[in-house]
Amino acid sequence: MARTPSRQLVPPARVAEIAELAEAVADEHCPNGGVDPEAVADANGITISFGPYQSSFDGMLEHRAGRFHIYCNLDRVRRRDSPRARFTLAHELGHYYLDEHRNALAAGLAGAHGSQCQYESRNLVEQEADHFASNLLMPPRRFVAAAKGLPPGLEGIMSLARRFNTSITSTAIRYAATDVAPCAVIKWSWTGYAWKWLSTEFFRARFRRTIESRESVSEGSPTWRALNRELPPDNGFFEAGTTASAWFPSVRQGQLRDLLFIEQAIPLGRFGVLTFLYPLSEKGVRNLFSPQSDTNPFPGH
């Protein structure tokens, strides 16, 4: 889901449809506690192979002789029970549960192909499967209920990630997508900007286009420190105050919209750095809502 309107290919109505389907699957097969994608696969007669398949894909759904089979690449996901492995299995289940994907595979209209999961692909089909995976592993009603009362920002997100056994990245995106609080999630690879995800309230307040180069990141800021591979504090992430003008080029320093934010940044190992921004005052963001901007047509941006 990467991270400009032109790259977010799934229309909002389709996103909502996929979320409803994924939550229904979760409620049917894993109604209590966490969701086990292996159990969902087994219930549908889908077999799974975990193996070292080098770096070409995270997962792959294959149809052969009337059966579906998932390959999960341990060279990419590391462990069978890792959050990335769980997301990969849920992503491939998305290809199975989404009728258009499954029917194309079964009819031979689409061959088995390797998937890169966790919002790394710009392909429509892959983005749809990512949406399914996120909503399967973190069903919206359960996720929102679990988020209530947690500390804001990365502390709460890390708690949710442990509860749902999901990655920090997918959990942060879910946090923004379900509008738990006004926020922006920005992903950096080690070579530069990758994508962003905005909550609806950030979009309505016209906090939309963020800085997109490492050179624009303020020296000494949490993100700058993470990108420069400093060792984070014991809680796992850097944190400091910042302003809207430091992150959103359309905001001039000192104007009414130059609100105070908390900036947090967490290193993601080989996957880069995640920046999380949220306002000191949610009321301040809501006061900036534009009547003409009530709908976010690009929920990832």
> Of 63, 55, 26, whose CA–CA distance to 114 is shortest?
55
Residues 35-59: pLDDT tens digits? 999 999 999 999 999 998 887 788 9
Q: What is the mean pLDDT of the chain?
A: 89
Q: What pLDDT does 235 receive?
A: 96
pLDDT in tens, 234-245: 999 999 999 999
Strand runs labelled E in the chain: 47-51, 59-64, 67-73, 184-189, 192-198, 238-243, 260-267, 273-279
pLDDT at 161: 97
Which tokens hold the place of 256? 């009414």
Look at residue 297 and tell me whether its pLDDT is greater than 60.
no
Q: Is the pLDDT of residue 113 over 80?
A: no
Q: What is the pLDDT of residue 210?
A: 96
Q: How confident is the model at residue 2 (pLDDT cuts 50, 70, 90)?
A: very low
Most distant CA pair in the chain: distance in Å?
A: 65
Q: Tell me: the pLDDT tens digits for 135-180?
A: 999 999 999 999 998 999 999 999 999 999 999 999 999 999 999 9
Determine the Cα–Cα distance for residues 130 and 115; give it in Å rounded to an integer. 10
Q: Does position 7 have pLDDT exceeding 70, yes or no?
A: no
What local confidence, expressed as pLDDT, does residue 108 receive?
A: 81
Q: How confident is the model at residue 5 (pLDDT cuts 50, 70, 90)?
A: very low
pTM above 0.85, yes or no: yes
| Burial degree of 55 (CB within 10 A; 0-12, 13-18, 19+) | exposed
Report which DSSP code applies to 282. H
Average pLDDT over residues 288-301: 54
Q: Which of 7 and 287 is assigned the larger pLDDT?
A: 287
Per DSSP, 115 falls in state B
Instruction: Give the integer Cα–Cα distance in Å for 76 and 74.
Output: 5
Residue 219 has pLDDT above 60, yes or no: yes
Length of the chain: 301
Q: Distance (Å, rounded) from C-alpha 204 to C-alpha 186?
A: 18
The answer to whether 118 touches 169, Cβ cutoff 8 Å, is: yes
Which token pair is 73? 């690449």
